[in-house]
Amino acid sequence: MINGEKAAIKHFIPFGCLLYIYVPKDISTDWKLNPKSIPCVFLGFGKDQGMKCYIGYYIKTGKLHHSVNV
């Protein structure tokens, strides 16, 4: 509005949409056969260890996951 241009809204993600969070090799026990990502519900953005991250709610375990890699 200040410059007289429309705001770019391409980067917005709707809350509650499906979000796949990457599971690194060192966390997974059998990396070849286990899924490389887990489906979560997108809750928002946050900070984890000083970096911007995505917050996802994993329904099967009921835990929140913070991740930069989605």
Q: What pLDDT shows up at residue 32?
A: 77
Query: DSSP strand E in the chain: where?
Result: 18-22, 37-48, 51-58, 63-67
8 A C-beta contact, residue 35 and residue 58: no
pTM for this predicted structure? 0.69
Region 8-37 average pLDDT: 79
Q: What is the phi/psi pair of residue 48, to 5°?
A: -135, 115
List the chain domain ranges.
18-67
> pLDDT tens, 23-53?
877 777 777 787 888 999 999 888 877 888 9
Average pLDDT, the chain: 83
Confidence of residue 1 (pLDDT cuts 50, 70, 90): low
Residue 58 burial by Cβ neighbours in a 10 Å radius (0-12, 13-18, 19+): middle
8 A C-beta contact, residue 17 and residue 42: yes
